[in-house]
Amino acid sequence: MKKLIVVALLMLAGAASAQSSQSKKDLVAKVLELQQPAIELVARTMAEQPAQLLMQRAGPLLQQRIPPDKRQAVARDIQADVKKYVDETVPLVRSRAVALAPSTIGVLLDERFTEDELKQLIAIIESPINRKFQSLGGEMQRGLTEKLVAETKPVIEPKIRALDRSVAGRLGIQPPAAAASK
């Protein structure tokens, strides 16, 4: 009889644990759902970054290697190629990021947060104050960036020119500013 009670208690504990585990999984899924825009933004940034770097490298080459009368057409073609790449790549990377989130971010949330902490986290994410704060993100970033650029530009620009001269010297070429002044 005693063994039967112990087995029954163990079964009840296991069922409660499984129920709690499912409840926790539901909370993790809710956090992932609430964070999906951020996950998609990471994916978009990652997908667009190579195209942005390519465009940065293409600009000077376009000026140096393409005759002036053909630059605008070539620039449009390059922009069309980049747009096609972004249009094809971003949805692919975004969908993979959303699909991978449960097995990456979700696992971390499940391992490092209790059920109660997940409930608190959801309450924070959904709170009107948090939403208001998040809505200011772009404005805050722009304000900081503008002020930072304005205050550091006089110090940074000479350093960039010195770096440009140094790299150009190592490559055995004249920096663009030096070439233009001759």
Per-residue pLDDT of the chain (182 residues; tens, 9 = 90+): 555 554 444 454 454 445 458 999 999 999 999 999 999 999 999 999 999 988 888 888 888 888 999 889 988 999 999 999 999 999 999 999 999 999 999 999 999 999 999 999 999 999 999 999 989 988 998 898 899 989 999 989 998 888 888 877 776 787 665 444 44
If you write DSSP's letter for every residue of 26-83 in order, what string do you get? Answer: HHHHHHHHHTHHHHHHHHHHHHHHHHHHHHHHHHHHHHHHS-HHHHHHHHHHHHHHHH
Measured CA to CA, the distance from residue 8 to residue 2 in angstroms comes to: 10
pTM above 0.75, yes or no: no
108, 127, 98, 123: which is closest to 28 by C-alpha?
108
Measured CA to CA, the distance from residue 124 to residue 133 in angstroms comes to: 11
